[in-house]
Chains A and B, each alone.
Chain A
Amino acid sequence: MINLENVNVEFGEFKALHNINCSINAKDFILILGHNGAGKSTLLDVISGRLTPSSGKILRNNVDISLLSEAKRARFISRVFQNTNMGSVATMTVAENLAMATLKCKTAGFNFAIKNFPQQIVEETLKPLGLRLEELLNTPIGKLSGGQRQIITIIMATLCEPDILLLDEPTAALDPVSTENLLQFVHNFTKNRNMATMMITHAEQQAKFLANRTWVLQKGKLESN
């Protein structure tokens, strides 16, 4: 589905990514491990379009998307950051944020989405979780706990069924209990979907039950694939 061919990212003399070759297939759950500064986030930056590779190609279904902007890639690549503030608008309610997230696939107009779509999400996504998030629809998302907000952010990132979901240390700002809940949620949420998931995490032991592949990055090089 997505292939990286000889991808390099250089910042002056510093090589952040060195000759990366890999492929990501549908339904893959890839755990990305490595020390700080190993190039994990840079790898996700390059895939999501936040960074343009210095050389090499990123192919989606054999079409080169290396020069496609981040906004254009957002139609098929969703990303969730460790900072829970980055994936939503804190002053808007949960319902408004969810409605905004539907704009990416534009299955309905926004006015329709704001009135009807949250109800659909309530029935199909929020209620089955059993976390009572459906009771918080009219609460500004900034008032939710970090764990609740991250779960909503992941739901928002997947509403339009992307090819790949990129999770950049989604548990970094969470306490151990919330981390456990979030990982369980990610497991339940991704297993029946036809998308690939890549997750950077330092909670390796807690998260390894999720993955079918594990990549280790060291000094910008993909050591195991």
Chain B
Amino acid sequence: MLSFLPVVVGILERGFIGAFIVMAIYLASRVMKFDDFSIEGTFGLGGAVVAWSLLHNTNPWLALLLGCIAGGISGCITGLLHTKLGLNKLIAGIVVTTMLFSVSINIGGANVALGNAPTVFSALHNSSFASLILLASMALAVAFIFIWYMKTESGFILKSTGINEQFVTSLGKSVPLYITLSLIMANALSALAGGIFVQYSGFFSAFGNVGILIAALAGCMIAELIAINMFIMALFGSIIYQLIIAITIELQVEPSWQKLITGLLIVVILVVKKLENKKIKGSVAA
């Protein structure tokens, strides 16, 4: 039983880190209906900025803040490419994420170990659950901030923009502003996740973000299956996704198959949703 404990703690810790990106995906893709590819790039950018900052003796919390700001600026660029230059949503995200690969590799290098640089986890080495508690607290705090924000005036307009742009225009509000705002927040969240992941793992890899978008999407879809409040469910969705990946590792599936498994997981969730919808329609018809 005790031998399982570190595995479970690891799953939960990675789940809480992933929850930030799941929330980012939810905000961009579900609330704003903007499938933003740049979220993958800003995960790497956040990691690169944090790695560079830590190696230049920056306070680890300040490093996270810098990572978030860099992510927010990237989200702003994606938003402006779409709203001001009329670039297709998907292409705008791909353009930014492609550019960010160069930016990240030039900031953080291809592979960098943090060595003895202090991180937000440095002071917590003595307690086995401290990292978990810190990560859970951060994820919950961010989730509750978003739950609160969605009930504010700005949050209501943001939600409305994703559902009905014409309605927001008729309120005299700027649709481009709210699209860009949502992308700034989503990409800042993704960069925060990248930054935390670098501090948690102790290294930065320019290729570490590859496939993170699809993993977060899987987490988001799991969350939607059990949704009560999406920002809280993002935590569970991410943890369940990590659990599924851990089970595949336990079953000795080669890590090289992990991306395929994630893709198949999304297909399975889609099939389950489709069957559920059919069931609901069937019961209504009956």
Contact = CB atoms under 8 A, between A and B. Distances in A.
A169 to B, nearest CB: 15
A92 B150 CA distance: 12
Most chain A CB atoms below 10 A, which of B152, B156, B157, B159: B156
B229 interface: no
Interface stretch (A10-18, A57-65, A78-86, A123-131): A78-86
Interface string B123-162: 0000000000000000000000000000011001101100
A74 B166 CA distance: 11
A111 B153 contact: yes
Contacts, number: 57
A79 B170 CA distance: 7
* SS class, residues of chain B in contact with chain A: helix
B86 interface: no
B175 to A, nearest CB: 8
B167 interface: yes
B172 A100 contact: no
A158 to B, nearest CB: 12
A163 interface: no
Contacts of B166: 81, 86-87
Nearest to B164: A89
Interface residues of B, number: 17
A80 to B, nearest CB: 9
B156 A86 contact: no
B164 A85 contact: yes
Interface string A85-114: 111111110001000110110000111000
Interface of A: 70-72, 74-75, 78-79, 81, 85-92, 96, 100-101, 103-104, 109-111, 157
Given A91-B163, A100-B171, A104-B172, 18 more contacts: A71-B173, A71-B174, A74-B170, A74-B172, A79-B170, A81-B166, A85-B164, A86-B167, A89-B164, A89-B167, A90-B163, A100-B156, A101-B171, A103-B171, A103-B172, A103-B173, A104-B171, A110-B156
